[in-house]
Structure 1
């Protein structure tokens, strides 16, 4: 396994201390059997984005290691900034292990902000696996940039960004671009980051970001062809909780480094506090797999064991870094700790962000 994974894992271990104090148990031996069954893995986003890529990489390996080797199919249910598919899971999924949900920061954020479209409660679910990830911001070469060192050239440009919505994971670039004082028009209503990338490829927008898995698969070829210019990654957290370079993209500056290049100082203040809170909830704890809360423990244990076992599979070890990036997928205490981190913000941060969204973007959310 790539040693870069240790960075993210050590952060998760630090977060796990509180969960261990609560007595959260790790996975036990599986007793369930899914022989002859089909498992539907609901992804509340369109095809081609980071969550879809992540699920489609994991699905055949999950099938291989779940007892009985069921067929695992990925079902895309986009809409409502990921709330549509997630609401469907909350309303219809039975506790039999045959329907699982893959969430992203774009699913966490509406919940954290009190979005009225949310009809789901994270506390009602049991987590099977958590997957930290990263992301890269890139722009069009038509703007005249050659690389990250030219980021200051964006200060006087009119930028257009294809957004899933102000309460989706796209809140991180919204807050980040505001902090950098970029002039960005956020076009809301896209059903997934894959759709945003296609809009970039068509020339409809000129700045975009993709999570690591989608960037590696779909944007790196654009960079290689001279059709996209990477600017920075969001970065990852080190053991001290500080933002450092993403090990998947060691040659790219982190957001903090890019900000310092623009301003000559490290980011600070209430606006950075808000950005940092949603970055933390959205990336170190970004992608998670859930089962309904009433699911028997033996089924949850079977899923956790399958996710653990597949990490020793030669196909996983050979391809995980290339497809997903240098991050670890975790279960048990570590997953529970990331789960809690990714679904919690302070009331003060919530009020600050919802107030800004209402005043500047006309997005009014429920309490």
Structure 2
């Protein structure tokens, strides 16, 4: 076993030595595997799945045909409900989840008629995130942020129960005065920032590097903090992709004089893991056999070791190591560790702050 950092979820080491394909490995010769993606073509989850699709097809025993089935609607709820109700258990149906799939479930959305905690995780892909502001605000450090009590931060957001829950709760914990503008996805939010319609935004790692760094270079955007990554002890440390940026924890400590703790932070950390540390997950249905699960996990452990994989992945889906083997179990357990009390707390917070009804 060799431990390596796997980006946002570095607290769990990856087994780099691949599992040997045992005589019990499932043979998919002549099979057609359907990978359900709960969004339309061209989105982030679809792009992620299509990057892995040929590698999965070539590497699974028997080299089966793997196809993407896009089932958009409900912010991934429609596809997740369909997978829960109809997925075959023989390994010919897999699901590609994203943050919203897990957020809706964790928050108790009544439309979410699926139980992802019962599904079997094959592997996960993490990402990071960076918050940035308009340089005209004069905020260059946590110290400046602490002094900006009267600044109104206009924040573009898809909605408070989307991935934006992570920054919204973080900004609330930092004591920032925030006015969200709902109905904007990440791309629309970035464009609004460029037009000067909002003065704060965040992007996940790949779009930040590709789309926001040019703004930073020209002096029209100022990176403020990253969410960070988890070390081997589960502590949040600096993101290796953005080592010069303070983490959310560092920023909180600089403002409040102590590290974040308590219920709000534990809730934030759970959604941070679900939204960033293990943002994309391939699942098998709960009834799939242990042999099927092991075959898929062995396959993905081999895929990430292929020559050139890391370079290809860096360009296509971000520069973070994949969570493979049994280590994905630890990530999933942390995601579904939200207690009934914590669930009630975040529901109440969302209702009080943003009039969200449950």
By the TM > 0.5 criterion, same fold? yes
Which residue in the other structure is 1:252 paired with? 245
Q: Does 1:37 align with 2:32?
A: yes
User: In structure 1, which of residues 286, 290, 293 is the aligned counterpart of residue 286 of structure 2?
Assistant: 293
Relative to total residues, which structure has the larger helix share, 1 or 2?
1
Residues 57 and 251 of structure 1: is their aligned pair in 2 closer, same or farther, counting only changes over 3 Å? Answer: farther
Q: What is the alpha-carbon distance in structure 2 between the residues aligned to residue 275 and residue 132 of structure 1?
A: 17
Which residue in the other structure is 1:5 paired with? 5
Contact 1:222–1:228 (CA<8 Å) still a contact in 2?
Answer: yes
Residues 106 and 35 of structure 1: is their aligned pair in 2 closer, same or farther, counting only changes over 3 Å? Answer: same
Contact 1:44–1:86 (CA<8 Å) still a contact in 2?
Answer: no
Q: What is the alpha-carbon distance in structure 1 between the residues aligned to residue 321 and residue 153 of structure 2?
A: 34
Structure 2, unaligned runs of 5 or more: none
Contact 1:62–1:72 (CA<8 Å) still a contact in 2?
Answer: yes
Q: What is the alpha-carbon distance in structure 1 between the residues aligned to residue 135 and residue 4 of structure 2?
A: 30
Post-superposition offset of 1:278: 2.7
Q: Does 1:161 align with 2:155?
A: yes
Contact 1:128–1:304 (CA<8 Å) still a contact in 2?
Answer: yes
Structure 1, unaligned runs of 5 or more: 17-24
Q: What is the alpha-carbon distance in structure 2 between the residues aligned to residue 336 and residue 129 of structure 1?
A: 9
Contact 1:232–1:258 (CA<8 Å) still a contact in 2?
Answer: yes
User: In structure 2, which of residues 245, 251, 261 is the aligned counterpart of residue 268 of structure 1?
Assistant: 261
Which residue in the other structure is 1:57 paired with? 51
Which residue in the other structure is 2:177 paired with? 183
Which residue in the other structure is 2:313 paired with? 320
Post-superposition offset of 1:156: 3.1
- 3-state secondary structure, aligned to 2:113: coil
Contact 1:161–1:184 (CA<8 Å) still a contact in 2?
Answer: yes
Give TM-score, length-normalised by structure 1: 0.80
Contact 1:102–1:287 (CA<8 Å) still a contact in 2?
Answer: yes
Q: What is the alpha-carbon distance in structure 2 between the residues aligned to residue 54 and residue 299 of structure 1?
A: 22
Which residue in the other structure is 1:353 paired with? 346
Q: Does 1:84 align with 2:72?
A: no
Q: What is the alpha-carbon distance in structure 2 between the residues aligned to residue 161 and residue 46 of structure 1?
A: 27
Give TM-score, length-normalised by structure 2: 0.82
Which residue in the other structure is 2:212 paired with? 219
Residues 144 and 68 of structure 1: is their aligned pair in 2 closer, same or farther, counting only changes over 3 Å? Answer: farther
Q: What is the alpha-carbon distance in structure 1 between the residues aligned to residue 89 and residue 192 of structure 2?
A: 38
User: In structure 1, which of residues 100, 108, 114 is the aligned counterpart of residue 108 of structure 2?
Assistant: 114
Post-superposition offset of 1:33: 1.7
Q: What is the alpha-carbon distance in structure 2 between the residues aligned to residue 147 and residue 52 of structure 1?
A: 36
Q: What is the alpha-carbon distance in structure 1 between the residues aligned to residue 319 and residue 194 of structure 2?
A: 26
Q: What is the alpha-carbon distance in structure 1 between the residues aligned to residue 21 and residue 195 of structure 2?
A: 46
Contact 2:97–2:281 (CA<8 Å) still a contact in 1?
Answer: yes
Which residue in the other structure is 1:277 paired with? 270
Q: What is the alpha-carbon distance in structure 1 between the residues aligned to residue 209 and residue 103 of structure 2?
A: 24
